């Protein structure tokens, strides 16, 4: 390091210090020395000076950081000979306020951004510029990128707060601190200081931008100023406070109370000097980027102007028209991008040492920092091309390949828009998606699915020899984190998620990038990759997911030249795509399946669970029975397990059991499968993206999308010469669109009215023979969305779904919050989030029950000893029926049951229901939904009449089921 020593010694001390300094440095003036020296050498100089120091000794040391910047290190002797910056004062004034208001006297180089002592002006410029570069790469939108630059340059302006700067100096008295938390650096001082009374630096930054930003600045329009305000405020999460700061006025009052003269305008010289320094750096690098003009004085007397809300994290309003939601979607999407690139840039820049940051700026190499955060080519394209050549080499598929190629090229013709592929069952949507990716030079594909099971189905396809056996395929969900390549699979190393060339993931993982703070930088990777949304139609009735999915699509649409995004479904829901997503062009491909289908409707009484109910009746060989709910599938399986060679799959199985059964289903019913089972009984879990087939199907009637998706598993490969029987079981409640009986479930999914409309439409449009081809039924599906009567019902359901989503986003997409204490959970342990769009669930434990033939027996074992299982809180509470409340039963018995056991709760401690509910967010302390006979004997109790058990059937797990759902005929 190069240092300069300045001596203000007097009398005999002058010669003593000269002898020391002459031995180590070159004298460049009467009282000044300079040299290149190691840190150890500098400590030796300081030690010798201290040994000879008297009251007349005064030597300051400065570290020369660059041609234009130095850093004051220390003083030996009389500190009064220098000011706080180690400078020899030559002018004095008693007018302190006048000195503060003199911008020229502000030593901006003495303001630091963090404990690495990155100069604040350099840090602000670098974050703004790297964020600008990232935004340009991800959106190619110059106007948005310039707004992002301003947000980046303002994001940490609040660190001019004297409390923050004093804390930095105190923290770095002994040495620089290089570890900067992901959540950013905030004052961690204890004692009198508290964020209950003092704003965080992002809140101060937001306040200063609000007060000093010149509204007359025409370089940034009004909407972008709101975006800047949002980004500045939300580049950090909020601290938990007893009294939340909700208004700008609150931040103003709390902050000005800490200022010596109680005036925000005392900071004006520092702000202007910061802005001037940032603009000078930009000009020196010959960039057309600058921080806009600032007001010289803020109007701090007009409190009415300060009584506005701080920026909301997500902003949605209610509307009775679909278009009423699109503006909010677009605004939130822009905020998502701006926030993601500023936070990403902040983390990249903060990771540098002060010297490296200075070097990047002086050598104009910050572009390297930005490009390092983007994707590099790892060889995905050659693998895809090899895969496609393999398909094309088969002459038997020449016409099929030709039509798939036309569809893939059509999706590329307008790369500025999001592509939508309307591909009926069996048309080869996966292959078309890969060909689209090849045509658009994909370096990485993020394949997003609504459910884990669809990811699993795609893993089976993509890792097969026909597709991409040599490519790094990764599945990354809450349950599975595995990498596949060359026939091998391994657990994804922690911290290396989303590292595969093709990443198969669920919508939940991607939504985390726009609803949390910790995952926000993942949005940069999402924006930089090719994205396929598979079976996206499933998000439409899902609370919260429909709007947040639309945000993710809107983010990709922000790229003005190429979106690199594809939506894939056999049932695209034209109304949703056109009206909410604003996409008009949909590429369709006709089915290659020429088989015929006979549509049969059967009325049934959902209360009857006998052979009169087609969902419960015994079935012939190679039949799928698909119910709308898991419980109907379970009960029909239990009824027939003794006389059917059947397999059951649904959502209420332990993850390991579900995966095992999923693999068995696939192997049995895939093309040329083993056919180890005659019948598949299932909930909706198998209706999409599972490449399996049957010769006959019974389904519970549902909306057009689910009904057609299920039909897509019937003679999927077009191998049958005779018409395939498709039986739709329907109740009077569904026909009438009344939310009663089993129709309540459809109403809870916001699709009852459109289901009724689809039933009515089919009654009119199906031919008298009720025999159709796949091509014909998909033509009817498109006509359904063009029919005005049907569109009214579709709109009614969609508006209901969107209104519910606004409420759930307000309730559950909470503002990102930072916690003062770290979780004590063991490494790798999963804890349920306080708010989840998937629903309010808890970890549970259940006794095992064996249901074989017509008998049942409660086991002495518990089901979830080596893996976790969750159920909804509403189910635990018995859906509001107090006599079915299992938590209340546990609260009365559990503390006595565990006296001689270790079930994760202190013995003899009786907790309230609310405590058990809170503790059950951690897997070590689940809610017990049922107990073994041995444990019940301890408290001399009978099983709860509605206890939920984990049932095992004759040959396979049946899953979680309540006792009141089956006949108690056991011993």
H/E/C letters for each residue in 728-742? EEECHHHHHCCCCCC
pLDDT the model gives residue 191: 66
Work out the pLDDT band at 478, boundaries 50, 70, 90. Answer: confident
Class of residue 594 by CB neighbours under 10 A (exposed 0-12, middle 13-18, buried 19+): exposed
How far is the C-alpha of 657 from the C-alpha of 111, rounded, in Å? 58
pLDDT the model gives residue 908: 53
- Under a CB-based contact definition with an 8 Å cutoff, are residues 755 and 734 in contact? yes
How far is the C-alpha of 25 from the C-alpha of 38, rounded, in Å? 12
Number of Cβ within a 10 Å radius of residue 24: 16
Q: pLDDT digits over 366-414, tens only? A: 999 999 888 777 789 999 999 999 999 988 888 999 999 999 999 998 7
List the beta bridge partners of residue 818.
Answer: 239
Residue-wise DSSP of 258-318: TSTTS-GGGGHHHHHHHHHHHHHHHHHTT-S--PPPB-SS---S-HHHH-SBPPPSS----
Chain position carrying tokens 């990498």: 483
pLDDT the model gives residue 967: 56
Query: Token pair of 366, please?
Result: 């910050």
Who has greater pLDDT, 259 or 836?
A: 259
Share above pLDDT 70 across residues of the chain, in percent, rounded to a whole number: 94
222-234 vs 201-212: helix crossing angle, rounded to 10:
160
Number of Cβ within a 10 Å radius of residue 197: 13
Work out the pLDDT band at 913, boundaries 50, 70, 90. Answer: confident
Long-range contacts of 612-619 (CB under 8 A, 24+ apart): 613/729, 614/698, 614/727, 614/729, 615/698, 615/700, 615/729, 616/640, 618/643, 618/644, 619/644, 619/646, 619/678, 619/679, 619/696, 619/698
Residues 689-706 as b or e (16 or more Cβ within 10 Å = b): bbbbbbbbbbbbbbbbbb
Mean pLDDT of 423-436: 92
How far is the C-alpha of 432 from the C-alpha of 568, rounded, in Å? 10
- Under a CB-based contact definition with an 8 Å cutoff, are residues 468 and 494 in contact? no
Work out the pLDDT band at 825, boundaries 50, 70, 90. Answer: very low
Q: pLDDT digits over 634-654, tens only? A: 999 999 999 999 999 999 999
Pairing of strands 596-603, 771-773: antiparallel
- Under a CB-based contact definition with an 8 Å cutoff, are residues 72 and 107 in contact? no
Helix/strand/coil (H, E, C) string of 550-568?
A: HHHHHHHHCCCCCCCEEEE
pLDDT the model gives residue 101: 37
Q: pLDDT digits over 241-263, tens only? A: 888 899 999 999 999 998 988 89
How far is the C-alpha of 618 from the C-alpha of 643, rounded, in Å? 8
- Under a CB-based contact definition with an 8 Å cutoff, are residues 25 and 79 in contact? no
Work out the pLDDT band at 818, boundaries 50, 70, 90. Answer: low
Q: pLDDT digits over 712-760, tens only? A: 999 999 999 999 999 999 999 999 999 999 899 999 999 999 999 999 9
Q: pLDDT digits over 939-952, tens only? A: 899 999 999 999 99
Asked which of 559-563, 570-574, 812-816, 878-882 is least confident by mean pLDDT, the reply is 812-816
Query: Token pair of 519, please?
Result: 């995952």
pLDDT at 657 over 80: yes
Q: Whose CA is closest to 730, among 701, 707, 755?
A: 701
How far is the C-alpha of 26 from the C-alpha of 29, rounded, in Å? 9
- Under a CB-based contact definition with an 8 Å cutoff, are residues 951 and 970 in contact? no
Work out the pLDDT band at 179, boundaries 50, 70, 90. Answer: confident
pLDDT at 700 over 90: yes
Query: Token pair of 424, please?
Result: 């009926």
Query: Token pair of 39, please?
Result: 């840190």
What sign results for the dihedral spanned by CA atoms 352, 356, 358, 363?
negative
How far is the C-alpha of 659 from the C-alpha of 214, rounded, in Å? 59
How far is the C-alpha of 567 from the C-alpha of 507, rounded, in Å? 13
Query: Looking at residue 577, what DSSP letter applies?
Result: I
Work out the pLDDT band at 66, boundaries 50, 70, 90. Answer: confident
- Within 417-564, where are the H helices? 429-439, 452-462, 507-515, 522-528, 545-557
- Under a CB-based contact definition with an 8 Å cutoff, are residues 656 and 633 in contact? no
Work out the pLDDT band at 72, boundaries 50, 70, 90. Answer: confident
How far is the C-alpha of 772 from the C-alpha of 769, rounded, in Å? 8
Residue 11 exposure: Cα atoms within 13 Å on the Cβ side: 5
How far is CA 132 from its chain centroid? 23
pLDDT at 823 over 60: no
How far is the C-alpha of 427 from the C-alpha of 887, rounded, in Å? 49
Q: pLDDT digits over 342-372, tens only? A: 999 999 999 999 999 999 999 999 999 999 8
Q: pLDDT digits over 540-554, tens only? A: 999 999 999 999 999
Chain position carrying tokens 């790469």: 137
Chain position carrying tokens 């503790």: 919
pLDDT at 92 over 50: no
Work out the pLDDT band at 779, boundaries 50, 70, 90. Answer: very high
Residues 291-328 as b or e (16 or more Cβ within 10 Å = b): bbebbeebeeeeeeebeeebbebbebeebeebeebbeb
Query: Looking at residue 812, what DSSP letter applies?
Result: H
pTM: 0.84
- Under a CB-based contact definition with an 8 Å cutoff, are residues 728 and 707 in contact? yes
Query: Token pair of 686, please?
Result: 């198998």
Share above pLDDT 90 across residues of the chain, in percent, rounded to a whole number: 70
How far is the C-alpha of 219 from the C-alpha of 841, rounded, in Å? 48
pLDDT the model gives residue 256: 92
pLDDT the model gives residue 102: 47
How far is the C-alpha of 682 from the C-alpha of 702, rounded, in Å? 14
Asked which of 327-341, 617-631, 845-859 is least confident by mean pLDDT, the reply is 845-859
Query: Looking at residue 844, what DSSP letter applies?
Result: E
Residue 548 makes CB contacts below 8 A (sequence gap 6+) with 511, 514, 515, 809, 813, 837
Query: Looking at residue 944, what DSSP letter applies?
Result: P
Work out the pLDDT band at 557, boundaries 50, 70, 90. Answer: very high
Mean pLDDT of 902-906: 49
List the beta bridge partners of residue 951.
Answer: 849, 959
List the beta bridge partners of residue 698.
Answer: 625, 727
Class of residue 178 by CB neighbours under 10 A (exposed 0-12, middle 13-18, buried 19+): exposed
pLDDT at 154 over 60: yes
Pairing of strands 32-36, 26-29: antiparallel
pLDDT the model gives residue 970: 35
- Under a CB-based contact definition with an 8 Å cutoff, are residues 236 and 517 in contact? yes
Query: Token pair of 602, please?
Result: 């059967």
């Amino acid at each position: 390091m190069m240092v300069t020593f300045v001596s203000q010694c007097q009398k005999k001390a002058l010669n003593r210090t000269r002898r020391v300094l002459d031995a180590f440095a070159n004298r460049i003036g009467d009282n000044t020395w300079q040299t290149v020296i190691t840190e150890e050498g500098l400590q030796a100089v300081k030690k010798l000076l201290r040994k000879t120091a008297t009251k007349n000794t005064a030597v300051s040391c400065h570290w020369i950081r660059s041609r234009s910047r130095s850093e004051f290190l220390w003083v030996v002797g009389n500190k009064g000979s220098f000011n706080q910056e180690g400078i020899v004062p030559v002018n004095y004034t008693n007018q302190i306020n006048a000195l503060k208001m003199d911008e020229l006297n502000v030593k901006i180089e003495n303001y630091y951004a963090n404990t690495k002592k990155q100069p604040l002006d350099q840090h602000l410029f670098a974050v703004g510029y790297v964020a600008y570069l990232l935004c340009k790469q991800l959106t190619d939108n110059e106007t948005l990128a310039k707004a992002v630059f301003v947000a980046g340059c303002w994001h940490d302006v609040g660190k001019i707060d004297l409390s923050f700067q004093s804390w930095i100096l105190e923290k770095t008295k002994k040495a620089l601190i290089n570890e900067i938390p992901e959540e950013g650096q905030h004052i961690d001082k204890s004692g009198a200081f508290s964020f209950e009374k003092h704003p965080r630096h992002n809140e101060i930054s937001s306040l200063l931008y609000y007060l000093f930003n010149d509204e007359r600045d025409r370089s940034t329009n009004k909407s972008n100023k709101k975006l800047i305000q949002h980004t500045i405020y939300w580049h950090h999460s909020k601290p938990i406070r007893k009294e939340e700061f909700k208004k700008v006025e609150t931040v103003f009052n709390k902050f000005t109370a800490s200022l010596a003269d109680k005036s925000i305008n005392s900071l004006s010289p520092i702000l202007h000097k910061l802005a001037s320094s940032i603009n000078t750096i930009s000009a020196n690098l010959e960039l057309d980027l600058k921080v806009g003009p600032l007001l010289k004085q803020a109007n701090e007397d007009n409190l009415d102007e300060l009584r506005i809300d701080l920026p909301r994290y997500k902003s949605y309003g209610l509307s009775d028209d679909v278009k009423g939601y699109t503006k909010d979607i677009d605004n939130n999407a822009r905020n998502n991008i701006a926030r993601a690139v500023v936070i990403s840039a902040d983390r990249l820049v903060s990771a540098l040492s002060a010297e490296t940051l200075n070097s990047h700026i002086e050598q104009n190499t910050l572009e390297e920092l930005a490009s390092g955060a983007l994707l590099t080519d790892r060889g995905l394209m050659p693998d895809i091309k090899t895969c496609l050549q393999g398909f094309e080499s088969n002459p038997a598929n020449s016409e099929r390949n030709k039509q798939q190629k036309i569809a893939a090229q059509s999706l590329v013709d307008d790369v500025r828009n999001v592509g939508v592929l309307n591909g009926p069952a069996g048309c080869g949507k996966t292959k078309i998606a890969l060909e689209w990716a090849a045509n658009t030079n994909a370096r990485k594909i993020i394949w997003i699915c609504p459910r884990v099971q669809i990811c699993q189905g795609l893993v089976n396809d993509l890792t097969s020899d026909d597709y991409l056996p040599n490519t790094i395929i990764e599945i990354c969900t809450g349950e599975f984190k595995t990498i596949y390549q060359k026939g091998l699979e391994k657990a994804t190393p922690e911290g290396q998620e989303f590292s595969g060339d093709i990443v198969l993931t669920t919508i939940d993982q991607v939504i985390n990038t726009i609803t949390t703070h910790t995952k926000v930088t993942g949005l940069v990777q999402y924006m930089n990759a090719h994205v396929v949304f598979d079976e996206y139609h499933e998000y439409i009735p899902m609370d919260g997911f429909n709007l947040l999915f639309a945000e993710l699509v809107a983010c990709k649409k922000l790229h003005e030249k190429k979106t690199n995004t594809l939506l894939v479904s056999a049932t695209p829901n034209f109304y949703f795509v056109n009206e909410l997503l604003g996409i008009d062009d949909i590429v369709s491909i006709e089915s290659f399946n020429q088989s015929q289908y006979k549509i049969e409707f059967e009325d049934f009484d959902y209360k009857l669970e006998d052979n009169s109910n087609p969902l419960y009746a015994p079935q012939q060989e190679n039949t799928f029975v698909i119910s709308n709910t898991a419980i109907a599938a379970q009960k029909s399986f239990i009824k027939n397990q003794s006389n059917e060679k059947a397999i059951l799959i649904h959502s209420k199985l332990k993850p390991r059991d579900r995966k095992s059964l999923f693999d068995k289903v696939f192997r049995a019913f895939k093309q040329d499968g083993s056919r180890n089972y005659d019948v598949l009984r299932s909930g909706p879990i198998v209706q999409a993206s599972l490449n399996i087939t049957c010769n006959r199907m019974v389904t519970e009637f549902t909306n057009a999308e689910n009904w057609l998706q299920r039909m897509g598993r019937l003679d999927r490969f077009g191998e049958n010469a005779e018409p395939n029987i498709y039986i739709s079981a329907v109740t009077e409640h569904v026909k009438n669109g009344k939310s009663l009986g089993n129709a309540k479930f459809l109403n809870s999914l916001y699709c009852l009215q459109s289901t009724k409309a689809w039933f009515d439409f089919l009654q009119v449009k199906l031919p008298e023979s009720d025999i159709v081809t796949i091509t014909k039924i998909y033509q009817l599906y498109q006509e359904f969305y063009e029919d005005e009567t049907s569109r009214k019902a579709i709109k009614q359901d969609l508006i209901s779904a969107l209104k519910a989503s606004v409420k759930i986003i307000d309730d559950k997409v909470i503002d990102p919050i930072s916690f003062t204490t770290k979780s004590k959970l063991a490494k790798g342990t999963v804890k349920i989030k306080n708010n989840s769009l998937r629903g309010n669930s808890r970890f549970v434990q259940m006794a095992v029950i064996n249901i074989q033939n017509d008998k049942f027996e409660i086991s002495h074992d518990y089901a979830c000893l080596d893996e976790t299982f969750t159920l909804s809180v509403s189910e635990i509470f018995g859906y509001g029926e107090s006599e079915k409340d299992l938590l209340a039963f546990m609260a009365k018995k559990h503390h006595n049951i565990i006296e001689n056991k270790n079930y994760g709760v202190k013995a003899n401690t009786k907790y309230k229901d609310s405590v058990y509910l809170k503790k059950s967010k951690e897997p070590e302390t689940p809610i017990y939904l049922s107990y073994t006979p041995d444990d019940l004997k301890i408290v001399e109790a009978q099983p709860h009449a509605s206890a939920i058990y984990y049932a095992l059937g004759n040959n396979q797990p049946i899953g979680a089921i309540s006792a009141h759902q089956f006949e108690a005929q056991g011993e």
